[in-house]
Amino acid sequence: KPIYILNGPNLNLLGLRQPEIYGRETLDDVAAACTALAAELGLELRFHQSNHEGALIDWIHEARGAGAGIIINPGAFTHTSVAILDALNAFDGPVLEVHISNVHKREAFRHHSYVSLRAEGVIAGFGTEGYLLALRRMRTLVAS
């Protein structure tokens, strides 16, 4: 069963938008690094990005039964979306939450995450390396 890595709104502009916060690596760079590490770890990967809440929810539904685990950077939906939380609550495998920036060092509205109510673990502020750390942790979680 594959691991789903899901990315929310504006992450298609990674490397271009606010590089002082999010770095200069693009989402294609992140996808390539994750694909290489997944192969090394013997994990199958589905890597997606959408600016639309419903598309993210559809991939979470697709992962029900078909996915081993979900790593999600919900972007700003982290702080707003009960619907994404509900979809994740309907998924029975492990969930890890990733933020490129340290959301706790930023505006107060970024300090609360609906997704954290469901996630086994959260990585924030490790830049795009956070995705690779989450993938290593996911291998442990799906093996146990």
Write out the catalytic residue numbers: 22, 99
Taking Cα atoms as reference points, which of 101, 41, 45 lies closest to residue 73?
101
Q: Map residues 6-45 to x or -, x wherever contact with ligand DQA holds by CB under 6 A.
A: ----x-----------------------------------
The footprint of ligand DQA on residues 105-124 (CB under 6 A) is 110
Q: Which is nearer to ligand DQA, 11 or 68 (CB)?
A: 11
| Part of the chain binding ligand DQA (CB under 6 A), chosen from 31-39, 43-51, 56-64, 74-82 | 74-82
End-to-end CA distance of the chain: 14
7 in a known ligand binding site: no
Which of 38, 43, 45, 78: binder of ligand DQA (CB under 6 A)?
78
Q: Minimum distance from CB of 65 to ligand DQA (Å)? A: 27
What are the residues whose beta carbons fall under 8 Å from the beta carbon of 106, sequence distance 6 or more? none
**According to the binding rule CB under 6 A, does residue 103 interact with ligand DQA?**
yes
Q: Which is nearer to ligand DQA, 38 or 100 (CB)?
A: 100
What are the residues whose beta carbons fall under 8 Å from the beta carbon of 44, sequence distance 6 or more? 1, 2, 3, 38
Q: Minimum distance from CB of 17 to ligand DQA (Å)? A: 9
Give the C-alpha distances (Å, rounded to integers) separating 129 from 30, 31, 98, 125: 8, 11, 10, 9
Q: How far is CA 28 from the centre of its chain?
A: 14
